[in-house]
Structure 1
């Protein structure tokens, strides 16, 4: 593989294993262990995994060829919702993710975005290969701790390959997996780190399924994790549920989803309205506990998404929900409270041209009511007077300390998603009763008037499940894969998005007939990898 990956193992072993006092802007750690020692003991292997846990939310400058303009999942999660118009920008602001929402990054092979996602995922793969191969080659004792280490390594590798094949290749359900080109497999852990050529999508899924099955087997006899940033049996089942859903293995998806959520009760109203800023929430299965001294500040998840973060991205660009989705939320559903339909449009630079004062905001006819509404929202949600507001803005993601740049946790997987995966899988199997049973606990918790029996056909169930995912999982990064799995295009005509701002992202044909849903392979990879040529470019 590309030379950027040829030194990958050395860097994951010598840079990412640092103390909690690491400054991500530094290029050399103060307490790194040598590459030779990193795999010498199970304890050191666990340190390698801890480096990967941090890399999930760290700035990518610690990866060869990486850029500090991306901070792992803190960037990718909101980006995948932004690109589909489910997490809508209201103004040009400082430009972050503008190119993504305009579809000008993943369609260009030289952009930072396509490079960073590719190399971060292969970074995980190379690191996991090192652990897996070392255990096998040396015949190390497989006790509870080693089961935990191998369970995490196989799960991370499955997760990384799944992320790659669902972005840099055609969707499993809308293509021909046996012949569609997937991504290169990488197994070596020594120079020259050359990957295989692009394998088919089916071959990649076979590898993914083999890895996640091994992960689950190891976790069944593993020691317990100590933090939700680490992977465990529930996490592995959650990853398996996502994989099976994306390839249409409905029975496996439903079964894994049920197992993944065991022990993680649904949030009640107080929990759902608390800000989604900590992995301590009851239904968080997996998430990054961001260490205070390692925060990425203006590259953090809350910088991109939170209406209370003290940064220019949200002060000038509050994010809104798609109006069509909001208008479907029943008044009896408490989630509607976190989308402020009547928030005053205080931004004179708003993309819809209706901001700045009561004179341009159609919801208000006088300055007094306009200004009072702004003050009321500030008092209720921790929005500062420096932050602009906008109709339909969300207040779902709020900091523990609003109005600061303090770090907060990043959530990767929740029990709610697993209920929705089970429901979709059952619906796709024409198991109406089973799908209703899966939806019932979630629906009744969120809506006091919820009646699941009205969704009594596969078609009604699927429409409702799509609605539930767009509300329940808003801002949590699932829109891209949902659109591909459902073969749905993008039409933001009545969403509240500005066509002038969104440009090509305002309307896109469905993925089965539109290859722009397939990410470009980094040109740097094609230039350097002897097993890839220009003919391999998407």
Structure 2
């Protein structure tokens, strides 16, 4: 697989790049390193695929979040059971031929390749064409390439590395192959697995270089999504956390907290920050954000005429709206509707009202046909009153309503014009004991995704300040500074409850074993662990919880808590979880078949 990624550039040089939001990033021509890149614009065109690769259909453009990580984390519940790889993710029991693991491996290593190509191109340009005033621009391009290479390697190592590093060890385990430059020959594309420590050392080194090269660089206009010094330092702090280097984590993250100029957005803006509102993009909390173009120019964007410029995740986790006939049985998904918000997550956010029932609508107008605005049956008004009061009185974690949409209480615009009530999905209609929330975070709520190209409109946060605050709290807690650590946990929680971030409040945690909203769901781990709960609630369905589950080794209790998935019909999730296997994805069979330096003997434990 990696050999194929590099083969196209060997002997020819670099592949043509693209602009920020290209209509296509597929190479249309090739050029020789004897005369290209010959300008800073040329060099930026080589850098562009380092970013656009993130929107590949096998990564953040489509499959990675809704079909892989969201199911692995059980943030969603998938009704569709016709895809074996998808079902394996929900069971946390992957095979070596799992499609989504293989796609992630290929796309992430393509990103590494693109970054290596950029670094080589920067060296070439600096030697052959650089002018006296180009040095800062070259440094900025190199800094971005190092940041992105580290990001890709961090994802690879967390998914495919045999172990995390802890204070007890783990660095000698098997990590992923390291490519720190463009291979000089086809033979040199066959690389064995490096150690876990070697991979993390590369990640940290790249981010340290990037922070220096990008120091003081600020981006404006169309460049706002580019990596900065604070992107690099925030990711470096996360790398220290992931390897339990608490001292360096504390120092690095404190630098971001104190000097980045970033601040937490207020709750109203936070709630509106994941649904495609362009006025919220690249805001005061964002440290690294992937730009998404809502215009797919047809043919499902990532598969059509606007490759790597958009995403179509909303096809899978789209909301459901009440049917035009006013019934839940006639409800419609604003896309494919293959996944909904997992019912067990509703109660984990502290929702204690139980499920609702439908009753006759006292305001039904029998002189008009039943319709979404004239339904015969409605949510029990007494229940609805309690549900609204729970929001108003903050007796439920408000982040539930950032992450999910509640039937009959929330609304969406399936036609882009008219507000419809959110509905219990049609496949749940008539079933007792269901909550039936839809996914809200990173979903399309202002239009049916098929009406937009189809394409999503919401940018993805790859790193934001709330994440940094929670990582900083973890570093402080593990350094014996609990009072300050609790303060940073509480800052994030206060924002969620619309309270002043820097002032003590009634919702503050008093200790690292204090009760959390998850306790009402009898959660044995998150119910009395504010650090774990806050990362789960704050970053829900943003893709990072899986890495927390794996580094904290809480997979079995997570599987036991969620119990089952709709697309899993044999047994329960807990019976599928295997501590010796499930924490790490398999090295893809395609890699073993194509790379002579990685054989079946080098496969991760538990896979055959």
Q: Tell me if both proteins adopt one fold, taking TM over 0.5 as the criterion.
A: yes
Secondary structure, counterpart of 1:413 in structure 2: strand
Aligned to 2:243: 247
CA separation of 1:368 and 1:178: change in aligned 2, threshold 3 A? closer
Note if 1:454 corresponds to 2:451: no
Tell me, in whole angstroms, the C-alpha distance in 2 between the residues paired with 1:71 and 1:111. 14
Aligned to 2:487: 437
Tell me, in whole angstroms, the C-alpha distance in 1 between the residues paired with 2:231 and 2:575. 33
Higher relative CO (CA 8 A, sep ≥ 6), structure 1 or 2? 1
Secondary structure, counterpart of 2:596 in structure 1: coil
CA contact 1:83–1:480 (8 Å) conserved in 2: no
Aligned to 1:111: 98
Residues 171-182 of structure 1: matches in 2 within 5 Å?
171-173=163-165, 176-182=169-175
Tell me, in whole angstroms, the C-alpha distance in 1 between the residues paired with 2:549 and 2:96. 22
Tell me, in whole angstroms, the C-alpha distance in 1 between the residues paired with 2:346 and 2:86. 23
Give me the TM-score of the superposition, normalised by structure 1: 0.79
1:235-266 CA-to-partner distances (Å, cap 9, x unmatched) read 11121122111100123223333444533321
Aligned to 1:186: 179
Worse-superposed segment, 459-468 or 413-422: 459-468
- In structure 1, which of residues 284, 290, 301 is the aligned counterpart of residue 286 of structure 2? 284
1:12-61 CA-to-partner distances (Å, cap 9, x unmatched) read 9546526856258xx665xx6736465443322211222222221132xx
Residues 282-431 of structure 1: matches in 2 within 5 Å?
282-294=284-296, 296=300, 300-307=312-319, 315=337, 317-320=339-342, 322-323=344-345, 326-328=348-350, 342=355, 368-370=377-379, 374-378=407-411, 388=426, 391=435, 393=437, 394-399=439-444, 401-405=446-450, 406=452, 407-408=456-457, 409-431=459-481
Secondary structure, counterpart of 2:314 in structure 1: helix
Worse-superposed segment, 265-274 or 308-317: 308-317
**How far off its partner does 1:280 sit?**
3.8
**How far off its partner does 1:291 sit?**
2.2
Aligned to 1:120: 107
CA separation of 1:6 and 1:28: change in aligned 2, threshold 3 A? closer
1:136-156 CA-to-partner distances (Å, cap 9, x unmatched) read 466545622111101111111
Worse-superposed segment, 184-193 or 47-56: 184-193
Note if 1:535 corresponds to 2:601: yes
Aligned to 1:7: 7
Structure 1: gaps spanning 5 or more residues:
60-69, 332-339, 346-365
CA contact 1:109–1:521 (8 Å) conserved in 2: yes
CA contact 1:426–1:432 (8 Å) conserved in 2: yes
CA separation of 1:379 and 1:118: change in aligned 2, threshold 3 A? closer
Secondary structure, counterpart of 2:529 in structure 1: helix
CA separation of 1:203 and 1:300: change in aligned 2, threshold 3 A? same
Aligned to 1:164: 156
Tell me, in whole angstroms, the C-alpha distance in 1 between the residues paired with 2:13 and 2:291. 20
Secondary structure, counterpart of 1:369 in structure 2: strand
Tell me, in whole angstroms, the C-alpha distance in 2 between the residues paired with 1:149 and 1:323. 42
Give me the TM-score of the superposition, normalised by structure 2: 0.70
Secondary structure, counterpart of 2:554 in structure 1: coil
Worse-superposed segment, 172-181 or 145-154: 172-181
- In structure 2, which of residues 83, 90, 93 is the aligned counterpart of residue 101 of structure 1? 90
Residues 66-77 of structure 1: matches in 2 within 5 Å?
70-72=58-60, 74-77=62-65
CA contact 2:249–2:472 (8 Å) conserved in 1: yes
**How far off its partner does 1:80 sit?**
5.6
1:59-107 CA-to-partner distances (Å, cap 9, x unmatched) read 2xxxxxxxxxx24364323456434444131523775833321235xx3
Secondary structure, counterpart of 2:582 in structure 1: helix
Worse-superposed segment, 453-462 or 121-130: 453-462
Secondary structure, counterpart of 1:515 in structure 2: coil
**How far off its partner does 1:477 sit?**
0.6
CA separation of 1:90 and 1:382: change in aligned 2, threshold 3 A? farther
Tell me, in whole angstroms, the C-alpha distance in 2 between the residues paired with 1:386 and 1:440. 34
CA separation of 1:229 and 1:501: change in aligned 2, threshold 3 A? same
Aligned-CA RMSD value: 3.8
Tell me, in whole angstroms, the C-alpha distance in 2 between the residues paired with 1:494 and 1:367. 36
**How far off its partner does 1:431 sit?**
1.3
Tell me, in whole angstroms, the C-alpha distance in 1 between the residues paired with 2:354 and 2:250. 35
Aligned to 2:395: none
- In structure 2, which of residues 31, 47, 50 is the aligned counterpart of residue 49 of structure 1? 47
Secondary structure, counterpart of 2:462 in structure 1: strand
Aligned to 2:361: none
Structure 2: gaps spanning 5 or more residues:
303-310, 322-331, 359-374, 385-406, 414-418, 429-433, 500-504, 517-525
**How far off its partner does 1:314 sit?**
5.5
Secondary structure, counterpart of 2:377 in structure 1: helix
1:302-344 CA-to-partner distances (Å, cap 9, x unmatched) read 2333326986765353223634763537x9xxxxxxxx97577
Aligned to 1:350: none
CA contact 1:271–1:281 (8 Å) conserved in 2: no
Secondary structure, counterpart of 2:47 in structure 1: helix
CA contact 2:90–2:567 (8 Å) conserved in 1: no
- Give the total of aligned pairs: 492
Secondary structure, counterpart of 1:318 in structure 2: strand
CA separation of 1:115 and 1:252: change in aligned 2, threshold 3 A? same
Secondary structure, counterpart of 1:89 in structure 2: strand
Secondary structure, counterpart of 2:197 in structure 1: helix
- In structure 2, which of residues 550, 553, 562 is the aligned counterpart of residue 484 of structure 1? 550
Tell me, in whole angstroms, the C-alpha distance in 2 between the residues paired with 1:23 and 1:382. 36
1:451-491 CA-to-partner distances (Å, cap 9, x unmatched) read 43521669999810111111111110112110111111234
**How far off its partner does 1:171 sit?**
2.6
Residues 511-522 of structure 1: matches in 2 within 5 Å?
513-522=579-588
- Structure 1 or 2: more helix by fraction: 1
**How far off its partner does 1:160 sit?**
1.5
Tell me, in whole angstroms, the C-alpha distance in 2 between the residues paired with 1:515 and 1:328. 31
Tell me, in whole angstroms, the C-alpha distance in 2 between the residues paired with 1:324 and 1:252. 36
Tell me, in whole angstroms, the C-alpha distance in 2 between the residues paired with 1:469 and 1:168. 22
Aligned to 2:201: 206
